[in-house]
């Protein structure tokens, strides 16, 4: 591990790594005999810390905040604080069950991070939240909140306000309620398949009712 880091940071020492561990920037596992066991993730984390110190002269407090953001799913950004992904996983065409399963993007955004990622004004985001379109879990928002906020901004460009979008939330709640009646409250493969069918049916119904 030390040799890997010294190839890029020639001044790194065991003592420095121990110091960074004591400061809580890295937490290696332990073997049964008590020896530290650094994973690939630990090495990458140390590499991030050392590069931030060397190239950006950041204090440990700021680096620790950046690491916390990365732990919440944000991505490192050159020369600045981590940011939300510029694009979220999206599947073109009709929805499939995989779209409703685990995406591998477990984001936990602060309100400011959500607003920046969605490119939405504080006022519009407040309206979106006020009408229950976006809901925080604790103090954080998930990746779907970015998509919802962006779409709300696009609707607003056509003069459709968040209060008008409550019907979509109501319809979604009813669809989820129906799915839960069939599958129960726990998410399963069947839940994801039914969710995909519900969205496909909704899209077809809207399309069929548009003026010819």
Q: For residue 88, is it within any domain?
A: no
Q: Are residues 151 and 204 in the same domain?
A: yes
Answer yes or no: are the C-beta atoms of 43 and 54 closer than 8 Å.
no
**pLDDT score recorded for residue 77:** 83
Whichever domain contains 150, its CATH number is 1.10.1660
Residue 90 located in a structural domain: no
The answer on 203 and 111 residing in a single domain is yes
> Does 186 fall in a domain?
yes
Cα–Cα dist 178/132, whole Å: 20
Which parts of the chain register pLDDT below 70? 86-95, 97-98, 101-105
Residue 63 shares a structural domain with residue 116: no
Tell me, yes or no, whether 77 and 102 share the same domain.
Answer: no
> Do both 104 and 196 map to the same domain?
yes
Q: pLDDT tens across 57-109, in order?
A: 999 999 999 999 999 989 888 778 888 876 665 555 666 766 776 554 578 99
Residues 64 and 117 in one domain: no
For position 73, which CATH number holds? 1.10.1660.10
Question: Could you list the residue range(s) of the whole structural domain that residue 204 is in?
Answer: 97-209
Global pTM reads 0.77
Q: Which of 52, 83, 114 is the last residue of a domain?
A: 83
**Within a domain: residue 44?**
yes
Q: Are residues 110 and 60 in the same domain?
A: no
Res 79: pLDDT:
74
**Total number of domains in the chain:** 2
């Amino acid at each position: 591990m030390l040799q890997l880091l010294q190839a890029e940071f020639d001044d790194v020492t065991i003592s420095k790594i121990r110091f960074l561990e004591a400061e809580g920037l890295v937490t290696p596992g332990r073997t049964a005999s008590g020896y530290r066991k650094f994973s690939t993730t630990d090495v990458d984390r140390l590499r991030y810390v050392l590069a931030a110190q060397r190239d950006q002269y950041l204090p440990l407090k700021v680096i620790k905040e950046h690491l916390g953001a990365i732990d919440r799913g944000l991505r490192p950004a050159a020369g600045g604080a981590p940011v939300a992904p510029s694009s979220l996983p999206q599947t073109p065409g009709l929805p499939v069950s995989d779209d409703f399963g685990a995406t591998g993007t477990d984001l936990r955004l602060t309100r400011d991070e959500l607003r920046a990622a969605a490119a939405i004004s504080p006022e519009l985001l407040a309206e979106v939240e006020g009408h229950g379109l976006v809901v925080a879990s604790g103090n954080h928002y998930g990746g779907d909140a970015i998509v919802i906020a962006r779409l709300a901004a696009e609707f607003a460009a056509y003069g459709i306000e968040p209060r008008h979008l409550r019907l979509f939330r109501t319809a979604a709640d009813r669809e989820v309620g129906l799915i839960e009646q069939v599958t129960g409250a726990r998410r399963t493969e069947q839940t994801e398949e039914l969710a995909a069918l519900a969205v496909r049916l909704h899209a077809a119904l809207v399309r069929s009712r548009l003026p010819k």
